Structure 1
Amino acid sequence: MKLRLYSFIVLLAAAAGCGGVPPSAPPRLAAAWTAEPVTPDGVAAEEVWSRAQPYPLLPPRDRNGGTGCRQPGTVRFAYDDRFLYVLAELDDDDVVQEEERDNRHLYETGDVLELFLWPEGKAHYWEIYAAPNGRRSMLFFPGAGRKIFLTAMQEHTRLRAGARVDGTLNDWSDRDRGWTAEIAIPLEELTRYGDPFGASGNWRAMAARYNYSVTLPEIEYSATSPLPKTDFHLREAYGKLVFPERIEHK
């Protein structure tokens, strides 16, 4: 009787798709080379952004059925000898960020784009924020088992970020159209612990988003990786950051 019951449970789980679907392979995220530096002001005027591949933000599978974001967005990557650059273009009908200082946990106070960078095989990784009002933060974790947020904040870095809002910030009574953010992450921070960056490195990356809106039934979470659940620290799901051959544009 127990054996037949066990067999029935296994067959039922297989029919429902439970545990039978392998996890999605991490996406490949190509960073376009730029010979000219990007000014992180939230205005995607640089030529490199026309070449950089846009990657859509996807809801985790435990949110919204994993079928798509109610308010979609895309993220692009670029780099030069000094910085890794990120451009996010985000639909948003209620743009909000109430924190007016840098180096804060901006996901607690409104809309934010997060970027996670991990040298694969190492314990340490970074978490970087950019908000629609131009506020920014950079956190460093020595390891996944040592996420002490109180001391993770890196207050003295050359991290730069800028944003532009298409609408009115912090006014829930009207409808906005969205916001754009650009981030410049100094490579001197990412190589501080001996991890090479670029074609000789082995980096994983994921952009993620907290989207607050008065018109949404709940906070909308999304990421460039198809996450099995809402957890932005699932490093094995981060995309593989790749660096195509440099092309000098004259």
Structure 2
Amino acid sequence: MRCPEFWSRTGCLIAGLGFLRLLLDATLAVGQPVMAPDSLLPFAPRTYVCYRTDRPLHIDGRLDEPAWQAAPWSAPFVDIEGPRRPPPPYRTRVKLLWDDTYLYIGAALEEPHLWATLTRRDTVIFYDNDFEVFIDPDGDTHAYYELEINALGTVWDLLLLKPYRDGGPALDAWDIRELQAAVALDGTLNDPSDTDRGWTVELALPWEVLEEAAPEGRPPRPGEQWRMNFSRVQWPLEVVDGRYRKRRDPATGRPLPESNWVWSPQGVVNMHLPERWGYVQFSALVAGTGTEPFLPHSDEPVRWLLRQLYYRQLLFRERHGRYARTLDELEVPADRRTRYRLTLQTTESLYEITAALPDGARLHIREDGRIWKTRPDAP
């Protein structure tokens, strides 16, 4: 991974401990307890119910097959930072389907200026306008997938072992085997002489690959949920000598910053906060034959509580040169400690915080951000 280039955007503008300072100092400034939702963006990930298709889809970039017509659209994309930024001027939406072989993803992007330049797979596609997919099958924030595609249909797919904030490498050479990907253009590519209408993306991602990081190493079952997000990068363009190019800052000559529009907002310009992604629930119903409500998991508030303590531990270590050794040092209110039977174990370089769930299971989070569940009857 080209870290200096990559951190200019996705790694990102508010990265690592800089993000944590902004997040937690804002909380402290208004006198909120540690467990309060952060002041940058309340925890409210978007949700989507993914229905089945009863026949394989032909991947040509056009979302015109009956199964696609029956699948619901997502809510329109918003700015990555959430409602404190203006809404995007062009609409972007996604829809999903699944069968026993593939997860299908369709996207529609309004675009008056179709533009793309990159043609080699696994280059940094977000240097063009693009559409992006992020999938964390087991929701532990580790071992998740990213895929980017531009209007030429050029793909960059990679596996991230950990988020960049936790020192995780990105496996750039990793590929989604048997991936099917196509785009369809409603307009003319790289032609500033006319006004275009947009482009659509159609993807088929094999479960045989996605199950590598999935719970129990298998595809989802009806009723189960995976964490996902979808993003669109949009560069401001200008026309010079009859060709598109990125608009530049007159003072520096460098391209102006891009816009980042997403399905489920992150609160900061950083897609690599998997705990902020949305939830996709898989349904046994065939699209168009009925509807199923999204059913949130009861342990999600506890997961978010542990995530806030993870943020606090990182900031504590930056300020004091070590992790907090007690819940008192993390300023955890007594009622929360009792309600969730919180425990903290710390060494010089490691820690683990656990919380109890009503069914007897326990949630754990550790210093590298991974969160997982154990049960007392587990071997």
Aligned pair partner of 1:91 in 110, 113, 116: 110
Q: What aligned pairs does 1:9-28 form with structure 2 within 5 A after superposition?
A: 10=30, 20=39, 23-28=42-47
Q: Return the offset for 1:186.
A: 0.9
Indicate whether 1:187 and 2:207 are aligned.
Answer: yes
In the aligned structure 2, how far is the partner of 1:139 from the partner of 1:92?
A: 26
Structure 1 residue ranges, 4+ long, deviating more than 6 angstroms after superposition: none
Tell me, yes or no, if the aligned pair for 2:227 and 2:280 is still in contact at 8 Å. Answer: yes
Q: Return the offset for 1:124.
A: 0.6
Aligned pair partner of 2:262 in 194, 209, 223: 223
TM-score normalized with structure 1 length: 0.83
Structure 2 gap ranges (5+): 1-28, 239-246, 248-255, 290-379
Aligned partner of 1:74 in structure 2 is 93
Q: What aligned pairs does 1:159-238 form with structure 2 within 5 A after superposition?
A: 159-193=179-213, 194-199=216-221, 201-214=224-237, 218-238=257-277
In the aligned structure 2, how far is the partner of 1:68 from the partner of 1:248?
A: 30
Indicate whether 1:46 and 2:68 are aligned.
Answer: no
Aligned partner of 1:32 in structure 2 is 51
Comparing 77-86 with 64-73, greater Cα deviation is found at 64-73
Percent of pairs with identical residues: 24
Aligned pair partner of 2:135 in 117, 121, 127: 117
Distance 1:123 1:19, change over 3 A: closer
Distance 1:249 1:75, change over 3 A: closer
Aligned partner of 1:106 in structure 2 is 125
Aligned pair partner of 1:142 in 161, 167, 178: 161
Per chain length, whose mean CA-contact separation is higher, i.e. which structure has more relative contact order (CA < 8 Å, sep 6+)? 1
CA RMSD of aligned residues (A): 2.7
In the aligned structure 1, how far is the partner of 2:268 from the partner of 2:47?
A: 20
Tell me, yes or no, if the aligned pair for 2:232 and 2:260 is still in contact at 8 Å. Answer: yes
Tell me, yes or no, if the aligned pair for 2:131 and 2:230 is still in contact at 8 Å. Answer: yes
Q: Which amino acid aligns with 1:214?
A: L
Tell me, yes or no, if the aligned pair for 2:122 and 2:172 is still in contact at 8 Å. Answer: no
| Count, aligned residues | 234
Structure 1 gap ranges (5+): 1-8
Aligned partner of 2:279 in structure 1 is 240
TM-score normalized with structure 2 length: 0.56
Aligned partner of 2:377 in structure 1 is none
In the aligned structure 1, how far is the partner of 2:149 from the partner of 2:96?
A: 15
Distance 1:125 1:175, change over 3 A: same
Tell me, yes or no, if the aligned pair for 1:117 and 1:206 is still in contact at 8 Å. Answer: yes
Distance 1:199 1:22, change over 3 A: same
